[in-house]
Amino acid sequence: MKKSIFIITIIIIFLSLPTPSLSQHCNKDDENTLFQIKKSLNNPYHLASWQNTSDCCSWYCLKCHKTTGRIIELTIFSGNISAQIPPEIGNLPYLQTLLFRKLTNLTGQIPSTITKLTHLTSLTLSWTNLSGPIPSFISKLTNLNYLDLSFNNLSGQIPPELAKLPKLGELDLSRNKLTGNIPNSFGTFSGNLKTLYLSHNQLTGNVPKSLAFLKCTTIDFSRNRLTGDLSMFFGRNKTIEMGYFAKNIFSFNLSKVVFPARFNYLDLNHNKVYGSLPVSLTGLSLQFLDVSYNSLCGKIPQGGKLQKFEKTSYLHNRCLCGSPLPPCS
């Protein structure tokens, strides 16, 4: 016994030793590209460690592949960078993760050279000042499982081609200036898509019926100008667990909605939803409910979590009554 513990300890010590720097030699082409990127970003203070006196695998904001020394991650989280996204970014062909975040002086459009990054699995361009459209060429990055373009100044319509991303698990386009409809094609997203955030835009029209085919667990459409029905997301066998639909113009009969068993978060405030609260709500482990500012009527079903929420979750409807609101007359 003692001996095997000794051997295991040796193995653990061995595994926790830093990998020899030899195996991490930065690839020369990547290094040249990084120098070009640094120059295009106007030599920001943030990238001061990018100097040819050290191996580029040791520079800040980067990660190299352990054996090949190719750059696989470029992540700039914040900083004073006044520039556009350098087109040279497309010349880091082994990049898997690209992130520019909290760079309010990063302006301009998303460059088409990113389509060369075919290994990209995660793309985050968020809290920057990017403008122009969301380019349809992003759909060429078929290995993406995470796409976050939130908190920018992107405008125009959502390109229907995004639904061609077969591995996409999370799509966040919230907090932009997007207009037009939610594309019909979004119903053809693969079952991998679990989270869809489109909030804080200027989207209009009805939610396409095709979205009934989505297998999402979280959907955030709040603060747009969307109309019509949300019934495509509901039904006993549906996957939705959290629905953020506040501050739109949704209008449908809530009495008829059947919530799936794992559903636990419903924000419908400031819409035009009518009918009454279905009794089945009392059977859910709700962690959040807000149906205020709608046109609901009738008695709030008693039981489950429904009386655990404040009055404010129910106020400003046509004629809701019963605890936590005053009794029905």
- State the residues that interact with ligand NAG by CB under 6 A: 52, 80, 82, 104-105, 107, 129, 131, 153, 235-237, 253, 255-256, 274-275
Please give the full DSSP string across 244-284, using - where no structure is assigned. E--SSEE--BGGG----TT--EEE--SS--BS---GGGGGS
Shortest distance in whole angstroms from residue 261 CB to ligand NAG: 11
Q: Which is nearer to ligand NAG, 4 or 237 (CB)?
A: 237
Shortest distance in whole angstroms from residue 298 CB to ligand NAG: 9
CA distance 19 to 127: 35
79: region left, alpha or beta (phi > 0 left; psi from -120 to 50 alpha): left
CA distance 264 to 188: 25
Supply 156's token pair: 């125009």
Shortest distance in whole angstroms from residue 226 CB to ligand NAG: 20
- Other residues' Cβ atoms within 10 Å of the Cβ of residue 44: 17
Q: What phi and psi values does residue 210 have, to the nearest 5 degrees? A: -60, -20
Q: Which is nearer to ligand NAG, 52 or 329 (CB)?
A: 52
Q: Which is nearer to ligand NAG, 52 or 67 (CB)?
A: 52
| Gyration radius of the chain's alpha carbons | 25
SS3 (DSSP) at 173: coil
243: region left, alpha or beta (phi > 0 left; psi from -120 to 50 alpha): beta
Shortest distance in whole angstroms from residue 132 CB to ligand NAG: 10
Shortest distance in whole angstroms from residue 283 CB to ligand NAG: 16
Q: Residue 54 carries which DSSP code?
A: S
Residue 312 Cα distances to 163, 229, 276, 292, 294, angstroms: 38, 24, 17, 7, 12
The terminus-to-terminus CA distance of the chain in angstroms comes to 76
Q: Which is nearer to ligand NAG, 101 or 140 (CB)?
A: 101
Which residues does residue 321 pair with via DSSP β-bridges, in sequence order? 299
List all residues 6 or more positions away from 272 whose beta carbon is below 8 Å from its beta carbon.
249, 250, 251, 294, 295
Q: Which is nearer to ligand NAG, 121 or 224 (CB)?
A: 224
Supply 7's token pair: 């051997």
Q: Which is nearer to ligand NAG, 66 or 177 (CB)?
A: 177
Shortest distance in whole angstroms from residue 194 CB to ligand NAG: 20
Q: C-alpha 279: how far from its chain's center?
A: 32
Q: Which is nearer to ligand NAG, 35 or 265 (CB)?
A: 35
Shortest distance in whole angstroms from residue 121 CB to ligand NAG: 26
Q: Which is nearer to ligand NAG, 75 or 104 (CB)?
A: 104
Shortest distance in whole angstroms from residue 315 CB to ligand NAG: 20
